[in-house]
């Protein structure tokens, strides 16, 4: 499951997010939706899926012993050498963590860390670790470009703003799989195959991607799980001198934060889990629910679009179903006749790139106007540059044709955390009716996207499970009612699992809620972070 925070507004420049670097930068692309959809996957068949759901209802993450093992004492006792890192107000350091927690003497992994000290006034409350999600999103880029300068001033006054890139991500020994030209070819692969030849082409693309990742980091690839990243965060907590971990995690970052609470409930401080994931979901249900989430977001966009004079998908009064049919017809046209884009590398707007561009805009209703303009240019002016730009932001491709490691880390973590959703193309074919019912617009592509982990060079080490974190302090779980990437039901489910959870609901559109325009949400979370006052369970904001 690829999910990532997209703040509505931020100050500063550079970084990862739509409002700080590019309106389009949000998450992984459609082929990467394999990563987008398979993070909590188990098996493809309905029977096995039901069995996995039952097993997950019984299985729960077990807390680690409170005492730090002697074999890890040297890691917990590190003293970071802080230095300037070229971003005003921030300093950076590098820490070590064991590559394999089961065998700490077998080698280390280097973790990149950044912080911006509390500005005052007021008593310092310790460190506030932040993570924007992904998996694969750079927490360092996020805090330097957004959280460290855009979080409420009163929060930044009392907390040191801190981020660590998880192992395998960005500055922390990043996994690499394909170079720029190869990644361009990968992103243009037909992700909705119509026959055996196209299916073979998609499978070949997944195999090439996986083989590249395996060749780049054969040892590290076995040790980039969410559980290991959560254990790394406890080393960071100790090194920073904090008794408890204070944390704001968005999207996939909620899974990371909940995992930390499950492993170390006695060390969980003030935790905010915004845009929550449900760790207990087996493959079929997770995939279908997220597919339905994107359909919900698209229907909201469709209703808004037909009220605008420049909507290229239908006039006033057109139903969301009609708007969806028009968009699908446009995608089908691109499947045989890609549209020029003016791209320096000669790329044309294919069906896969256009679909990725549309999905990108579903993460934030603030991008709907941009999407209307991009669709108008492509459909009426034969100019695909707008949708290509949205797709490139989604994949974190820069103007020089280079990609960040977002997509590579995304697959590496997802395919290790849980077994692949589907094992063969035939399994996907049999599942298509369910997916297309969940989303007539995106269902086919999202079903095929869930096949990529079937070819991963490393076997999964995790399974779906509940996280209860018994004994933890109150944890705030935030859900948005029309969130496309982390459906609201997931927030309710996670809040139902965590023994000390308080569910906070935002009634609105877009992915995540904190810092996205709701003063009610922001006041509630700020009160919790600053005064330790959690909201009443079930509180709702709009």
Q: Give me the active site residues, please.
A: 251, 483, 511
- C-alpha count within 13 angstroms, C-beta hemisphere, residue 486: 38
For residue 282 the two structure tokens come to 């087996």
**Do residues 460 and 420 lie in contact, with contact meaning Cβ atoms separated by under 8 Å?**
yes
Please list the alpha-helical segments (H only) found in 92-225.
139-142, 148-150, 153-158, 180-188, 196-216
CA distances 156 to 113, 143, 385, Å, are 17, 11, 39
Query: What is the spatial distance between Cα 136 and Cα 3, in angstroms, rounded to a whole number?
Result: 9
**Do residues 466 and 280 lie in contact, with contact meaning Cβ atoms separated by under 8 Å?**
yes
The sheet with strand 108-116 has its strands ordered as 83-84, 91-98, 108-116, 159-164, 126-131, 245-250, 268-274, 475-482, 501-509, 539-541
Can you state the percent helix, strand and coil of the chain, rounding each to 5? 45, 15, 40
Containing H/E element for 412?
helix 406-417
Closest CA to 377 of 342, 412, 403: 342
Please list the alpha-helical segments (H only) found in 174-282.
180-188, 196-216, 226-239, 252-263
Query: What is the spatial distance between Cα 523 and Cα 508, in angstroms, rounded to a whole number?
Result: 17
**Do residues 301 and 357 lie in contact, with contact meaning Cβ atoms separated by under 8 Å?**
no
């Amino acid at each position: 499951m690829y999910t990532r925070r997209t703040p509505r507004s931020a100050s500063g420049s550079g970084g990862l997010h739509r409002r700080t670097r590019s309106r389009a930068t949000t998450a992984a692309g459609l082929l990467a939706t394999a990563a987008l959809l398979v993070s909590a996957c188990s098996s493809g068949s309905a029977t096995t899926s039901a069995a996995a759901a039952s097993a997950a209802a019984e299985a729960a993450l077990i807390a680690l012993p409170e005492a730090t093992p002697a074999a890890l004492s040297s890691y917990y006792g590190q003293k970071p050498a802080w230095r300037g890192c070229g971003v005003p107000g921030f300093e950076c350091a590098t820490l070590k963590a064991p590559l394999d927690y089961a065998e700490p003497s077998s080698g280390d992994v280097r973790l990149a860390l950044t912080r911006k000290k509390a500005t005052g006034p007021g008593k310092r409350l310790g460190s506030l670790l932040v993570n924007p999600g992904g998996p694969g999103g750079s927490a360092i880029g996020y805090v330097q470009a957004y959280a460290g300068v855009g979080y409420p001033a009163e929060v930044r006054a009392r907390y040191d703003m801190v981020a660590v890139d998880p192992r395998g991500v960005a500055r922390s020994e990043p996994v690499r799989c394909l170079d720029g030209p190869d990644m361009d070819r990968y992103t243009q692969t037909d992700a909705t195959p119509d026959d055996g030849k196209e299916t073979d082409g998609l499978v070949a693309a997944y195999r090439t991607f996986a083989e590249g990742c395996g060749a780049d980091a054969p040892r590290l690839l076995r040790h980039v799980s969410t559980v290991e990243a959560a254990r790394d965060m406890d080393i960071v907590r100790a090194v920073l001198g904090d008794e408890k971990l204070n944390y704001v995690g968005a999207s996939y970052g909620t899974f990371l934060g909940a995992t930390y609470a499950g492993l170390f409930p006695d060390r969980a401080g003030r935790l905010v889990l915004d845009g929550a994931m449900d760790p207990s979901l087996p493959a079929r249900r997770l995939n279908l629910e997220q597919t339905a989430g994107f359909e919900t977001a698209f229907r909201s966009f469709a209703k808004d679009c037909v009220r605008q004079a420049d909507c290229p998908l239908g006039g006033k009064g057109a139903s969301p179903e009609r708007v969806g049919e028009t968009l699908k017809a446009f995608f089908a046209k691109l499947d045989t006749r890609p549209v020029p884009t003016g791209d320096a590398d000669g790329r044309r707007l294919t069906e896969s790139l256009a679909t990725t561009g549309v999905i990108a805009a579903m993460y934030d209703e603030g991008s709907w106007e941009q999407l209307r303009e991009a669709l108008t240019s492509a459909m009426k002016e034969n100019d695909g540059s707008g949708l290509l730009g949205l797709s490139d932001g989604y994949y974190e491709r820069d103007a020089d044709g280079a990609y960040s490691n977002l997509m590579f880390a995304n697959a590496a973590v997802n395919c290790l955390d849980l077994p692949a959703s589907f094992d063969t193309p035939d399994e996907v074919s049999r599942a298509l009716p369910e997916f297309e019912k969940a989303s007539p617009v995106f269902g086919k592509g999202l079903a095929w996207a869930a096949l990529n982990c079937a070819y991963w060079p490393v076997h999964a080490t995790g399974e779906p499970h509940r996280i209860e974190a018994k004994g933890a302090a109150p944890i705030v779980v935030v859900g948005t009612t029309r969130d496309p990437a982390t459906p609201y039901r997931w927030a309710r489910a996670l809040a139902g699992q965590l023994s000390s959870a308080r569910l906070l609901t935002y009634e609105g559109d877009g992915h995540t809620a904190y810092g996205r325009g709701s003063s009610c949400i922001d006041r509630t979370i700020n009160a919790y972070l600053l005064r330790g006052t959690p909201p009443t369970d079930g509180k709702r904001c709009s």
